Amino acid sequence: MPLTLSDGERPICEFIIGFVLQRSKNIGMAARRISLVNFKGGVGKTSITVNLAASLARELDQKVLVVDMDAQSNTSIWLMGVARWNNLNGMAEKSVWGLFHPESTGLKQCIEEEVLLNEHGVERIPKLDLIPSVYKLMDLEHEYQDDDATPYFAKFRMQLEILFDQYQYILFDCPPNVFRATKCALFCSEEVYVPANPDLLSVQSRREVVLGTTMCQNHKTYGTSITRVRPHDGGSASGDPI
């Protein structure tokens, strides 16, 4: 994808390329890592993440890790059930937030094993694990103090890549923006999936905002996937039909 870098973007781009090249030498059989992203909200990112993950784990016997990068925590609540997630919400160190504080949290603590319900919503899927989100993840965007030597997205990836050879799929459900949490997901992924409603605003945000980010330069993309027949089927949507 042609991309013109500004002077401000060039150093960060060089950092990213150097980091990935250097570390990828140490990774053996790595999971397929896929981010579900759209700048537009309500387009089905979470619905696809949850259903894709459950299908891969339950129907195809694949070992799957879902990483919830959205402070709304919809994926986590869906996969854990509201009671189990409510217990977790006050313990941010046991969520994706913990990956930004490796000095005080072990990676193992941040993984909820065998999700899709219980406490006592019943079914659990043995091969489906989750690094859940909590509301505290909102602080990543503003209050989290970055470290110049190891930016937030590199710190995140250094934690997560320990798990790359333990799963066949790692799916990242992203919030409806391309701020820090989404950039972390993109930095860990090789593939990007952009769900969209059949309306102008959902599709328009794809190229400029998602695929144009510095993090996305070398990713495989598969075009835009339209998740409904009409823009207003099911949940909310806006913009003119295309």
Ligand X SMILES: Nc1ncnc2c1ncn2[C@@H]1O[C@H](COP(=O)(O)OP(=O)(O)OP(=O)(O)O)[C@@H](O)[C@H]1O
- Where does this chain bind ligand X (CB under 6 A)? 41-47, 70, 72, 74, 176, 227-228, 233-235
The residue number whose beta carbon is nearest to ligand X equals 234
225 binds, among Mg ion, ligand X, none (CB under 5 to 8 A by kind): none
Residue with tokens 């784990």: 57
Among the listed residues 237, 239, 210, the one whose alpha carbon sits nearest the alpha carbon of residue 222: 210
Q: Which residue is nearest to Mg ion (CB)?
A: 46
- Cβ proximity to ligand X: between 113 and 141 the closer is 141
For residue 46, the minimal CB distance to ligand X (Å) is: 3
Q: Residue 224 or 227: which CB sits closer to ligand X?
A: 227
Instruction: Tell me the two tokens of residue 127.
Output: 């091969």
Task: Find the distance separating the first CA and the last CA of the chain, reported in whole Å.
Answer: 25
The single residue listed with the structure tokens 């709304």 is 72
Partner touching 235 among Mg ion, ligand X, none, CB below 5 to 8 Å by kind: ligand X
Closer residue to ligand X in complex, CB, 51/218? 51
Q: Which residues contribute to the site for Mg ion (CB under 5 A)?
A: 45-46, 74
Cβ–Cβ < 8 Å for 170, 67? yes
Q: How far is the CB of 148 from Mg ion (least distance, A)?
A: 32
Cα-to-chain-centroid distance, residue 160 = 12
Q: Classify the phi-psi angles of 169: left when phi > 0, otherwise alpha if psi is within -120 to 50, otherwise beta.
A: beta
